[in-house]
Amino acid sequence: MCFFWRKKKKQKALAQKQAEAEKTNALKEEKVVATKKEEPAVETIKPKETVAVEKKKPVSVAASKKTDEQKVETIKTKKPALTKDDKANDRYSGKYEIFPEAGLFKYRLKASNGEILLVSGGYTSRNGAETGIATLKKNIALGKGVIVVDKNGFAQFRIYTTNGARVILAGEFYDKQTSAEKALASTEKFALTDKIIQLEDIPSAEVREEIVEVQPIETNSNGKIEIKVIEGKKYQATLKASNGEVLFVTDIYASKATVLKGIEAIKNSVMEKGIFRVNRDKQNRYQFKLYSSINQVLVVGETYSSKESALSAIESVRRFIKDAKVIDA
């Protein structure tokens, strides 16, 4: 009996111990389950962050710059198609170039194919040349172009001021008047461009003008200045040597009084501080210009086939103009 009771008590204690062990294990399993319920949330976030990092890999400065350049190139290549009007305007997209030459600044107008249509007189500054371009465009729009033919039969277009009192610009020389007319028509098409290029210099082969060093000279009183009426109401003067050779023809003036005043200004400039320059055009014709002390063109000479002939004409002007007789032609 005692043995049976002890055995029963031992079984009861063992059952109680087993029950407590199962309770402890149950608590551990609940804790593990709770932990597993929290871990998936963390594990779910991590893969997303990892993917994001892989998409946003760091890029080097060089690679970034290259990417930007590629974007710019892409934008440039995606230009809108030119319309019919755009193409027509592009045909006449000439340009002005401002450059230094013979101690002054000049501008020249080029057609879209690179042909030089005109070269200006000299200005003391680049700003002056830009102002000259604006003046040229204004007067071309008003249709102030005139064709002039010299004593050798070479034609040139000239652009005058609104009142016709002063030449703004003289074009190239051509062996036919019709060629000069075509050149004027081309100039009227290209001159209205807004494109202006500043040049530090030009190739020596493109230099056209140089300053003439003059020496003391003995004057001659046998020259004459003929004044003639143009179109019944305007006046023009011609200086001739003693043998009748034409040395220069002045611009056209509105009255006899103004042409006489112009002759006096030319004479004073020749005898004092006037500057002669010799110019060569694209036809390889040479021509002298007389500038005042303030760099204003006072007179333009005839054209010659050689530089030496143009220099000889300057000497004749200096020899005959001082005492030339003024007569009505």
> Any idea where the domains of the chain sit in the sequence?
86-206, 209-328
Share of the chain above pLDDT 70, in %: 71
CATH architecture of 209-328: Roll (2.30)
Three-state SS string over 58-81 comes to: CCCHHHHHHHHHHHHHHHHHCCCC
| Domain 86-206 and domain 209-328 have a common topology | yes
pLDDT of 168 above 70: yes
Strand order in the sheet with 209-211: 209-211, 275-280, 286-291, 297-304, 246-249, 234-240, 224-230, 325-328
- Return mean pLDDT, the chain: 78
CATH architecture of 86-206: Roll (2.30)
- pTM for the complete prediction? 0.62
pLDDT-derived band of residue 54, with 50, 70 and 90 as boundaries?
very low
Q: What's the rounded Cα separation, in Å, for the pair 96 and 290? A: 24
pLDDT of 273 above 70: yes
Strand order in the sheet with 104-110: 145-149, 155-160, 167-174, 116-119, 104-110, 95-101, 196-198
pLDDT of residue 325: 95
pLDDT of 148 above 80: yes
Asked if residues 299 and 287 have their Cβ atoms less than 8 Å apart, the reply is no
pLDDT-derived band of residue 26, with 50, 70 and 90 as boundaries?
low
